Amino acid sequence: MIFLENAAVWTMAGRDYERGCILIDGGKIAAVGEGLTPPAGAERIDLGGRIVMPGMIDAHCHIGVFGEGTGFYLLDGNENTDPATPHIRGLDAVNPQDMAFAEALEGGVTTVCTGPGSTNVIGGTFAILKTYGQSADEMALVPDAALKVALGENPKRVYGAMKKTPYTRMGNAAVLREALVRAQEYQRRLDAAARGEGEPPERDFVLENLVRALRRELPLKIHAHRADDILTAMRIVREFGLRCTLDHCTEGYKITEQLRRFGAGALVGPMILDRCKVELGDSRTDNVVRIAQAGVPFCIVTDSPCVNVKHLYVQAGCAVSMGLDRAEALRAVTIYPARLLGIDGRVGSIEPGKDADLVILTGDLFDMESRIAATMIDGKVVYRNAIA
């Protein structure tokens, strides 16, 4: 057991503690509060008034898949052989030795949702991982957490150059619809066989994840920057009765009322990136503020390596400078992404029963003179700042 004491505890659970204590037992938070008595035999750590907050969560990135410093031809993020590859798994490309995982710990990021890029309309599954471990299987919280879909510039640019579909935004939508319709027929035959109405179809490995999506077991993770692409995503999700998040949502500020009515989470970011491609031409730094003010469920993401994963909190600080409420910015990198990923029973706040994924700060997270002194995952110190 570990007993952290004499700390300002930011729980993200509705109540903070100025002189708080946290008891960790078996990698879980056993108790949090003020005036707690350490159990006999517990290792006591006096934090000297430092701040403890939940480990941060990046709900959309590509770390371990697009390896840092590997060069373009060694990247494993895009299977550019077919615009519809729902059967591939991001987990199978994760390299735990990618330096981005160490950098995540430096930045207090303890959980990520990582996976394929956006050159395919249907790119494969994302995995939710802790950012410390020796193998992808050991790190995985949810091995297949969402199915990546991409609309807009990237698929049509890549396959259009090959003179293949999709060549246009119409083609993007058609590729997605065609795959979903084929999956509907496969699902119909599976369900009929389960009712004793005929023989089961031959197993179709490519369509299995799409059937899971149609059954609302696997959400779509839809890459969409432009407002029209976001609206196309909404149209297709409604058409097929799917679950989804809207990732990047760069022009969300143009359609906040539609986003609010739709109700899906907006995973906003990267926020400190230049307008490096056409569909980012209307990006605004206050986009996340407008989305939040409209009452849309949201969180902040890096899309690492577009923005380094360790700068997740820097983006949250930029949002505060643009007018986002400070407490909302903290929640946008902790409990909000946990909820949108469906893992808030494990991580995202400091509460009894949750994983002891913690960040220890020398001062306010948004003070540029503050440092992340240490990062803990499952009650183990996995990063320690030598100069903090």
Q: What CATH number has the domain bearing residue 365? A: 2.30.40.10
Please name the helix (run of DSSP H) or strand (run of DSSP E) that holds residue 172, with its range, or none: helix 169-194
| Tally of CA atoms within 13 A in the half-sphere of 294 that contains its CB | 24
**Pair (326, 296) in one structural domain:** yes
Helices (H), 201-286: 208-214, 227-240, 256-262
What confidence score (pLDDT) does residue 75 get? Answer: 77
Region 170-175: mean pLDDT is 99
Least confident span in 210-219, 237-246, 265-274, 344-353: 265-274
| Angle (nearest 5°) at CA 111 between 113 and 293 | 75
Residues in the chain: 388
**Pair (49, 95) in one structural domain:** no
CB atoms near residue 328 (< 10 Å) = 18
| Model pTM score | 0.97
What confidence score (pLDDT) does residue 69 get? Answer: 74
**Pair (130, 270) in one structural domain:** yes
Residue 356 has pLDDT above 60, yes or no: yes
| Paired strand residues for 358 | 54, 376
**Pair (70, 115) in one structural domain:** yes
* % of the chain with per-residue pLDDT over 90: 94
Quote the CA–CA distance of 109 and 107 in Å, as a whole number: 6
The two structure tokens encoding residue 30: 């056993």
| Paired strand residues for 22 | 4, 32
* % of the chain with per-residue pLDDT over 70: 99
According to DSSP, residue 73 is labeled G
What confidence score (pLDDT) does residue 68 get? Answer: 82
Least confident span in 33-42, 154-163, 267-276: 267-276
**Pair (79, 15) in one structural domain:** no
Residue 12 has pLDDT above 60, yes or no: yes
Least confident span in 11-25, 235-249, 264-278, 364-378: 264-278
328 confidence band (pLDDT: 50, 70, 90): very high
71 confidence band (pLDDT: 50, 70, 90): low
**Pair (132, 151) in one structural domain:** yes
**Pair (204, 256) in one structural domain:** yes
Q: Which CATH number do you get for residue 223?
A: 3.20.20.140
Give the residue carrying structure tokens 């994963």: 309
What confidence score (pLDDT) does residue 72 get? Answer: 60
**Pair (161, 245) in one structural domain:** yes
The two structure tokens encoding residue 71: 């060069």
Range of 3's domain? 1-54+349-388
What confidence score (pLDDT) does residue 148 get? Answer: 99
Nearest to 296 by CA among 253, 250, 265: 265
Nearest to 6 by CA among 20, 24, 26, 27: 20
Residue 73 has pLDDT above 60, yes or no: no
**Pair (182, 328) in one structural domain:** yes
**Pair (334, 378) in one structural domain:** no
Residue 324 has pLDDT above 80, yes or no: yes
**Pair (285, 387) in one structural domain:** no
Region 134-159: mean pLDDT is 98
Question: How many distinct structural domains can be found in the chain?
Answer: 2
Alpha-carbon Rg of the chain, whole angstroms? 22
Region 35-50: mean pLDDT is 97
Give the residue carrying structure tokens 């000297």: 48
**Pair (42, 153) in one structural domain:** no
The two structure tokens encoding residue 76: 């494993």
Please name the helix (run of DSSP H) or strand (run of DSSP E) that holds residue 145, with its range, or none: strand 140-150
